[in-house]
Amino acid sequence: MSDQDQNDQREIIDKLKGLPQIQDTRNKKEVFSQISSHPDLKRRKINRKKKWMPIVSATAAALFLILLLPVFFNTDTRQISEEDSMNEAYDMPMDETSENYSYEQEQESAGQEINRESAPAEQENSQMETVNESLVVHHVSQDQNIYFAGIPDLQAQYVIPIAFINSGERDLQGFYNNMDEYLGELNSDTGEYLFENVEFEIDHSSYEVAMALPNDFSLNGSAATANMFEKILSEMFRPYGTEKVTIHTDNGEPAEFDPFGDIDEMQLQEMTPSGYKLYELGNTKMLIQIPHNDQTSIEEAIQGMKEDEAELHVFKTVPEDIQFTIEQENNQLNFRFSEDTDFTEGRDSLDMIEAVLMTAKSYGYKQVKFENTEQQHIGPYNLTEPLPVPEAVNPIYLND
């Protein structure tokens, strides 16, 4: 940066620092009174009553009172009733953490879309909600668009593929040029975003993609990061049929793409045969791709899905005691559970079914028939019929 640039920048910073202080003119009591009458706090109180059995509540309340009795005697008697209502609201079970609330809500709505069953009794609700949190998407409606993306795991070992779904007009270029903001929700649980300040130009009819890198773009000379960059780029654009991405820098020169050297295009890889395990960190729970070479059979890939890689926050999707055999029938994979294998309807079983479906997809299968199961339904899936492989994995819904 030239001296002139630095001076200009310093001047702008001084001007920003010179912006006036803006103060809230309301007093504390006024602010508190607005918050304490907010419907969200009241709604939580009602939910709580539904969830707890009256006897348990009464017993807990009695115990609570006995424990706190000495405290009450020492408490300032000026406490007012609105305080009590606030305190009661604080005691709610925290099923929505504030920082990730929007992302979690999106995940819930994704689950509800594939839920075609209703729980008969209220006490089963929580289990059903969990069971139906699907990690894949099978189809989107005509007015919805899927934008494919990916991000490395925290250790940058694997790719977490992601499908952003919105409704309305499709805008590939707009989406990919703002992708960092959409991925922002996952920031703390995943690896570094590699396309910072990269501009995409996308032809919406031919799906030709050009990528402008900032002049100072660098992948720190690491071959692993460069490979990750290439894999994620493939994850983003290969589903549209794009085979290569042309590359240039902001000043029009070919990109110095360490460690590849000067390059002006990058060939995109076809979907690699992969197993799918769970990536669980913080509030993020997603299927993560474990790539294999062409020599690894799908049976070996699924066997590999029985192993945790806890140091990478990657966990098995197929329980160790599940035994199975695999048969191929045209583009259908027959996944036959062994006689003594049993599993119940639940979160783990749904993860297993969806991980196997995605694995089959990566090996080029169109559908999977699960055979020899006592359970006929897992979540939204009817196991008596062949199941089509999903359209995409790890959906995040961008619309309300």
Partner 1 sequence: MNSVFNKIYDEFHQDLYQFIFYMVKDKHLTEDLLQEVYIKVLNSHKNFKGDSSLKTWLFSIARHVTIDHFRAQERKRKRILEFFDWNEKGQNMKDNKPLPDEVAVQNEEVKQIYEHLDKCTPDQKSVLILRFIQSFSIRETADILKFSTSKVKTTQHRGLKMLRKYLEENKKRGGESNE
How far is residue 265's CA from residue 267's CA, in Å, rounded to a whole number? 7
Closer residue to partner 1, CB minimum distance, 85 or 296:
85
Which of positions 261-280 make contact with partner 1 (CB under 8 A)? none
Q: Min. distance of Cβ 10 from partner 1 in angstroms? A: 10
Closer residue to partner 1, CB minimum distance, 213 or 305:
213
Closer residue to partner 1, CB minimum distance, 43 or 139:
43
Assess 308 for contact with partner 1 (CB under 8 A): no
Interface segment toward partner 1; rule CB under 8 A; list 25-33, 55-63, 224-232, 355-363: 25-33
Which of positions 95-154 make contact with partner 1 (CB under 8 A)? 96-99, 101-102
Q: Do 380 and 114 meet the contact criterion of CB atoms below 8 Å apart?
A: yes
Which of positions 54-83 make contact with partner 1 (CB under 8 A)? 80, 83
Closer residue to partner 1, CB minimum distance, 27 or 295:
27
Report CA-CA distances (Å) from 381 to 285, 344, 388.
20, 13, 10
Q: Which of 31, 68, 223, 310 binds partner 1 (CB under 8 A)?
A: 31
Assess 40 for contact with partner 1 (CB under 8 A): yes
- The SS3 call for residue 218 is coil
Q: Please name which of 288, 292, 363, 368 lies closest in space to residue 324, comparing C-alpha atoms.
A: 368
Q: Please name which of 257, 272, 273, 289 lies closest in space to residue 152, comparing C-alpha atoms.
A: 289
Q: Min. distance of Cβ 220 from partner 1 in angstroms? A: 11
Task: Show the tokens assigned to 152.
Answer: 């490395």
Q: Do 235 and 259 meet the contact criterion of CB atoms below 8 Å apart?
A: no
Task: Show the tokens assigned to 118.
Answer: 């209703």
- The SS3 call for residue 369 is strand
Angle (CA) 67-70-71 rounded to 5° is 90
| Phi then psi dihedrals of residue 122, to 5 deg | -60, -35
Q: Min. distance of Cβ 125 from partner 1 in angstroms? A: 21
Assess 47 for contact with partner 1 (CB under 8 A): no
Task: Show the tokens assigned to 247.
Answer: 């590359």
Closer residue to partner 1, CB minimum distance, 181 or 320:
181
Site size for partner 1 (CB under 8 A)? 52
**Residue 8 CB coordination number (10 Å):** 12
Q: Min. distance of Cβ 168 from partner 1 in angstroms? A: 7
* Helix, strand, coil fractions of the chain, as percent rounded to 5: 40, 25, 40
Q: Min. distance of Cβ 19 from partner 1 in angstroms? A: 6
What angle, 0 to 180 degrees and rounded to 10, lies between the N-to-C axes of helices 81-90 and 39-51? 60
Closer residue to partner 1, CB minimum distance, 96 or 203:
96
How far is residue 111's CA from residue 129's CA, in Å, rounded to a whole number? 8
Closer residue to partner 1, CB minimum distance, 22 or 66:
22
- The alpha carbon of residue 180 and the mean position of all alpha carbons in its chain are separated, in whole angstroms, by 14
Residues in contact with 364: Cβ distance below 8 Å, sequence separation at least 6, in sequence order? 331
Closer residue to partner 1, CB minimum distance, 193 or 240:
193
Which of positions 145-174 make contact with partner 1 (CB under 8 A)? 168-169
Q: Min. distance of Cβ 164 from partner 1 in angstroms? A: 13
- Residues of this chain that interact with partner 1 (CB under 8 A) are 8-9, 12-13, 15-24, 26, 28-29, 31-32, 34-35, 38, 40-41, 44, 80, 83, 86-87, 89-90, 92, 94, 96-99, 101-102, 168-169, 180-181, 184, 187-188, 192-193, 196-197, 399-400
